[in-house]
């Protein structure tokens, strides 16, 4: 019973702020003025000229972000785990984790200065890419890369720490046997460590996918800072926000949210089953 007591607080919060709002959004998406409207709200959303561009923006961003996260986080975790001196490994983990202490909005405010070549401490890099002004830097074509860098800088450190802990759970006997058989660091990583990290990599992909589809704070702050260079309907969440609070169309906003939920759940299911997340060792 004590286990149920410990999880009861989270369960109540999940019910109040997760499941019930979701059910209410489902109700809104299939009704209009309290009357069943079938798929009318979804048809209206799909026919909106802003919907498909918003979907494509988020999709491109997710491809860049997930690819960078899955490759670089695992690589960094392996490198930190391979450091011979404990104090050096601990120091690296601490440095990686620092950016995650900043909230999303605070992180974006910091990046507003970093992305402006006139005040940025890395202005030489921006000018090296031919970017001489903030407006040029945050052009729509550059946004997937910019959001990928911001998200990676903010969240990758925490995942490196998690992957490092997972690597520590690999039996030393297995690694020792690999060394005796003549496997170097690269073969050990490819054939032993990464396969044994499969569940954790799948978990990271699911959580990052869920967070990535909710892209809102970064484009919204950049839109305000750039005075419209970044469109206010850049992401799917931004479009849902406009439907609800600019157009007063909560039914259309709920339809967008439900579509986003279904797509994110379907993609997450692929990682769950392909990654063997719930398989027992």
- Kindly state the average pLDDT of the residues 78-84: 79
Q: Residue 281 falls within a domain, yes or no?
A: no
Same-domain pairing of 19 and 61 = no
- Per-residue confidence band for 160, with pLDDT thresholds at 50, 70 and 90: confident
Give the total number of structural domains in the chain: 2
pLDDT confidence of residue 15: 94
pLDDT confidence of residue 256: 95
- State the DSSP string of 224-267: HHTTTSS-TTSSHHHHHHHHHHTS--HHHHHHHHHHHHHHHHHH
Model confidence pLDDT, tens digit, residues 100-157: 666 556 677 788 888 989 888 888 989 988 888 898 999 999 999 999 998 888 888 8
Same-domain pairing of 59 and 186 = yes
Same-domain pairing of 11 and 90 = no
Give, as one character, the DSSP assignment of residue 80: H
Q: Residue 250 falls within a domain, yes or no?
A: yes
Same-domain pairing of 129 and 182 = yes
Contact 151, 65 (CB under 8 A): yes
Same-domain pairing of 103 and 149 = yes
Same-domain pairing of 187 and 265 = yes
pLDDT confidence of residue 85: 60
Same-domain pairing of 56 and 34 = no
Q: Could you give the CA distance from residue 151 to residue 158 in angstroms, rounded to a whole number?
A: 12
Percent of the chain that is helix, strand, coil (3-state, to 5): 75, 0, 20
Model confidence pLDDT, tens digit, residues 16-50: 999 999 999 999 999 998 899 999 999 999 999 99
* Domain around 226: 52-274
Tell me which of 219 and 98 has the higher pLDDT: 219
Residue 93 has pLDDT above 70, yes or no: no
What is the average pLDDT score of the chain? 87
Q: What CATH number is associated with residue 121?
A: 1.10.3720.10
Which of the residue ranges 43-47, 170-174, 230-234 would you say has the lowest mean pLDDT?
Answer: 170-174
Q: Residue 58 falls within a domain, yes or no?
A: yes
């Amino acid at each position: 019973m004590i286990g149920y007591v410990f999880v009861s607080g989270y369960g109540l919060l999940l019910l109040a702020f997760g499941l019930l709002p979701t059910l209410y959004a489902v109700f809104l998406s299939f009704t209009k003025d309290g009357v069943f409207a079938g798929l009318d709200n979804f048809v209206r959303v799909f026919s909106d000229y802003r919907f498909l561009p918003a979907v494509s923006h988020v999709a491109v961003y997710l491809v860049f972000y997930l690819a960078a996260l899955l490759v670089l986080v695992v690589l960094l975790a392996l490198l930190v785990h391979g450091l011979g001196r404990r104090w050096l490994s601990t120091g690296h983990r601490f440095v990686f984790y620092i950016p995650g202490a900043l909230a999303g909005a605070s992180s974006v405010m910091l990046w507003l200065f970093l992305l402006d070549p006139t005040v940025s401490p890395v202005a030489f890099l921006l000018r090296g890419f031919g970017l001489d002004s903030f407006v040029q830097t945050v052009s729509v074509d550059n946004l997937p890369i910019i959001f990928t860098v911001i998200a990676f800088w903010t969240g990758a450190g925490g995942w490196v720490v998690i992957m490092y802990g997972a690597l520590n759970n690999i039996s030393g006997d297995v690694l020792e046997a690999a060394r005796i058989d003549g496997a170097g660091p690269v073969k050990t990583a490819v054939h032993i460590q990464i396969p044994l990290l499969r569940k954790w990599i799948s978990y990271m992909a699911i959580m990052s996918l869920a967070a990535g589809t909710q892209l809102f704070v970064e484009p919204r702050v950049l839109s305000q800072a750039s005075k419209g260079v970044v469109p206010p309907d850049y992401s799917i969440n931004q479009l849902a926000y406009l439907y609800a609070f600019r157009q007063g169309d909560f039914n259309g906003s709920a339809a967008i949210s439900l579509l986003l939920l279904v797509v994110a759940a379907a993609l997450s299911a692929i990682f769950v089953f392909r990654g063997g997340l719930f398989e027992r060792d």
